[in-house]
Structure 1
Amino acid sequence: MTFIDILRDHLDEFNQVFDQQITTSIRQAIYAMLTCRTNTERASHWTCQGCAHHADFPLSCGHRSCPQCQHNTTTDWLAKQQAKLFPVEYYMVTFTLPFELRVIAKHQPELMYQAMFSVAASVLKEFAKNSKQLGGDIGFTGVLHTHNRRRDLHPHIHFIIPAGSFDKDKKQWHKSKGKYLFNAFNLAKVWRSRLLEQLTNKLDIKLPEGIPKKWVVDCQHIGKGLPALKYLSRYLYRGVLPDKNIISDINGQVCFEYQDSQTQTTEIRTLPAVKFLYLILQHVLPKGLRRVRDYGLLQGRCRKLRQQIQLMLAVAGAVFPLVHEVKRAVAMRACPCCHQPMRFMGIHKNNYGNGRTTSLITTT
């Protein structure tokens, strides 16, 4: 039982019930998932190394919401982030959108998520500048999550922050001591004030009533950074709900399991199939909206400066965290005739109108 199976079985009813709430991005995601590894217009061509057998296999859709795709994208991201690690303690700061504002995220996701990123990043940069231990330029990576473990809409951004800063004027690296970075309560106050100002004054969005005065920002010490990167990498480019967590689809009722964040026990949630589909598909992000963003010293344009800092710290005797090589999964296919490995020859497009095959990509 997979999410795509449920989507295919209940698509007509889903379209009828949620027609007014299905965005263009959701429709594009649905089309991509339903045609994933089934569209024969573009296929990979394989030839057996032991006999003359050859075969074509449909390509994956590559959509970031598809539960079947993006494994290598996740691996590539983790490898790039590991190369940016500093030999310092790391913290994870999480900015959560309060319940009362989630209706805006539901109907205007692009505006809300862009505002969340820009405001949260500005807050972190200002706190770092004013910090007695840091007092310089920092780097951090932000990852947007839109759901909780029950898969309800629960937008929040995790920021992974190395506890160190660089003074460009003095060419000095400042390392934060102890296991304290920023005061979470102060972060929450500034986060609330600036985000509300951004929404009302700059984006001209009418706010709902009953917005709480106390917001939630969490600041946790996480060690050397690599564990947090691995944790986040599991959720970046895969579907909202892994297929292995789907238990059944019986009589129009879908059951799936999740781990309760408070008790750490496995719970089961049951929903009508169409509501289950919307529960998952509401988390499809607008096209072009980046879920992962690097700031400050971790930006791509700061690569040379980052390498200089890493070299400077290595010369000073700093011990860098042990990083294991991240290997990309290599596609392997066995010949159905002789069971010998097949060789990938390229990707081609079938032109059914004239009966010819056009090669798009070939390998040597």
Structure 2
Amino acid sequence: MTMYRTSYEVAQVLERNREQLAGLCANSWQSRTLHALRKCRTAALGGHIDRCDNPGCHKLHLSYNSCRNRHCPKCQGHKREQWIRAREAELLNVTYFHMVFTLPSELNRMCLYDPKSIYGLLFGTAWQVIKGFSSNPKFLGADPGMVAILHSWGQNLSLHPHLHCIVPGGGTTRSGKWKFARNKGKPGCRKARYLFPVKAMSKVFRARFVASLRKEFPPHPTAFYENLFKHNWVIYCKRPFLGPEQVVEYLGRYTHKIAISNHRIKSLDNNNVTFTVKDYRHGGRKSLLRLTDAEFVRRFALHILPKGFVRIRHYGILSSSRKKALLPLLQQVLGGPVPNGRPPLKHRRCPYCQIGIMVTVAVFDSRGPPKAWSDRLKNSAPRRTPQKA
């Protein structure tokens, strides 16, 4: 996958504040993550030397290793593409619905205190709501599926935990047959709006989440939980995707997205960071936000997930334990994914001739390439380009 350099990077902010990173983080895991991002594709992580296999070229190319961290702005492209291709093969020829479950700001402090538990409850409760409404014969009366993706940020990098969910418009009955949602699940159905009643879902979501919260954190005073019922919890439901192509496009934007990408950063001056933000309350109008380095790093660190926490989860008929056997059968009945015409993932092309494939001939650590290879690189007139390790 081709990578494009940007004028400014998150890594630059981290590098010029490397001595203060630990003090801007809530724990050592966040600090370790930021230092990994700071070193990404630099000599500090070592690298490798590749040679073009085209007989007419044979040029050498120096690449520094990537950190491969899921929070890194420079390491998501290839992973995202691999994940999307895998999901494309699992698409059914049905209507898909998009729902967003959002936690109120009153729970932000608890998210900072114990993100693993709170985010885990968010995943579990969202699935309970979807499964509960789907199993009700009044709405569907079938076993559903769901892909859920956790985002914890808003446009200004503040804490804004929410779950993006993709739900097929139907499910499997006890006999194993597919059942479409009433006038909503068939592909191309123009009457389709929302899969289930939004207001009813919101009330159930709030009640179930607070009930689970009481069990998980019993010492909290009753007034705290009562305060959570003073405001409506909104489940945002978009109109259904028009087809499988839209589902894939959506997945491409959201699956491996991080708190802020490098292209949003517009300037780094006087220990300040200026980046673009969208105001979705006013039609997505763009503006610029200026933060000090310290505040930018502090906000960015808020969205570093706990070690080992899974932020993309599959449920029901789309879970890993069921989809291998079930989805091929459903695709025979409903139809499989629509061919997208995209070329398969390929090996990295030579940046010089654009014909040959780069083959690794040497690897090195942070001390740099051996002298013999350094001399060969000079003779080969290499140029460094931002390629993924």
Query: Which range, TM-score by smaller chain?
Result: 0.7 to 0.9
Distance, in Å, in 2 between the alignment partners of 1:333 and 1:62 is 22
1:73 matched to 2:83:
no
1:343 aligns with 358
1:204 aligns with 218
1:360 aligns with none
1:242 matched to 2:300:
no
SS at match of 1:174: strand
1:304 matched to 2:308:
no
Please list every run of 5 or more consecutive structure 2 residues that lacks an aligned counterpart in the other structure: 1-7, 185-191, 373-389
1:331 matched to 2:352:
no
Is the Cα contact below 8 Å between 1:42 and 1:347 reproduced in 2? no
- The alpha carbon displacement at 1:346 in A equals 5.6
Is the Cα contact below 8 Å between 2:21 and 2:31 reproduced in 1? no
- The alpha carbon displacement at 1:230 in A equals 2.1
Provide closer, same or farther for how the CA distance between residues 132 and 117 of structure 1 changes in structure 2, counting only shifts above 3 A: same
1:313 matched to 2:334:
yes
Between 1:153-162 and 1:131-140, the stretch displaced more is 131-140
Provide closer, same or farther for how the CA distance between residues 133 and 198 of structure 1 changes in structure 2, counting only shifts above 3 A: closer
1:105 aligns with 111
Q: Aligned partner of 2:73: which letter? A: P
2:382 aligns with none
2:11 aligns with 4
Q: 2:177 aligns with which of 154, 172, 195?
A: 172
Distance, in Å, in 1 between the alignment partners of 2:70 and 2:169 is 31
Q: Aligned partner of 2:64: which letter? A: P
1:222 matched to 2:256:
no
2:206 aligns with 192
- The alpha carbon displacement at 1:251 in A equals 1.6
Distance, in Å, in 2 between the alignment partners of 1:262 and 1:239 is 21
SS at match of 1:76: helix
Q: 1:258 aligns with which of 277, 281, 293?
A: 277
1:44 aligns with 48
Distance, in Å, in 2 between the alignment partners of 1:343 and 1:218 is 46
Distance, in Å, in 2 between the alignment partners of 1:298 and 1:105 is 28
Distance, in Å, in 1 between the alignment partners of 2:266 and 2:311 is 28
2:189 aligns with none
TM-score (norm 1): 0.86
1:157 matched to 2:163:
yes
Larger strand share, 1 or 2: 1
SS at match of 1:11: coil
Q: Aligned partner of 1:293: which letter? A: R
In the TM superposition, what whole-angstrom CA distance separates every residue of 1:93-127 from its partner, at most 9, and x where no partner exists?
Answer: 11100010111111211111111101111111111
Is the Cα contact below 8 Å between 1:26 and 1:281 reproduced in 2? yes
Distance, in Å, in 1 between the alignment partners of 2:124 and 2:180 is 25
- The alpha carbon displacement at 1:331 in A equals 2.5
1:114 matched to 2:120:
yes
Distance, in Å, in 2 between the alignment partners of 1:154 and 1:99 is 7
Please list every run of 5 or more consecutive structure 1 residues that lacks an aligned counterpart in the other structure: 358-364
Q: How does 1:138-157 map to 2 (within 5 A)?
A: 138-157=144-163
Q: Aligned partner of 2:358: which letter? A: R
Between 1:138-147 and 1:262-271, the stretch displaced more is 262-271
Distance, in Å, in 1 between the alignment partners of 2:93 and 2:59 is 52
TM-score (norm 2): 0.80
- The alpha carbon displacement at 1:201 in A equals 1.3
Is the Cα contact below 8 Å between 1:78 and 1:229 reproduced in 2? yes
SS at match of 2:274: strand
SS at match of 2:280: coil
Q: Aligned partner of 1:298: which letter? A: L
Distance, in Å, in 2 between the alignment partners of 1:221 and 1:113 is 26
4+ long deviations beyond 6 Å: none
- The alpha carbon displacement at 1:42 in A equals 4.3
Identity %: 25
In the TM superposition, what whole-angstrom CA distance separates every residue of 1:24-61 from its partner, at most 9, and x where no partner exists?
Answer: 33112112112211146642331244466545422111
In the TM superposition, what whole-angstrom CA distance separates every residue of 1:163-183 from its partner, at most 9, and x where no partner exists?
Answer: 0111132x3211111314111
- The alpha carbon displacement at 1:231 in A equals 2.5
Is the Cα contact below 8 Å between 2:51 and 2:361 reproduced in 1? no
2:306 aligns with 286
Task: Give the number of equivalent residue pairs.
Answer: 346
SS at match of 2:240: strand
Distance, in Å, in 1 between the alignment partners of 2:162 and 2:150 is 6
Distance, in Å, in 1 between the alignment partners of 2:220 and 2:177 is 45
SS at match of 2:18: helix
2:384 aligns with none
- The alpha carbon displacement at 1:228 in A equals 3.9
Distance, in Å, in 1 between the alignment partners of 2:239 and 2:288 is 31
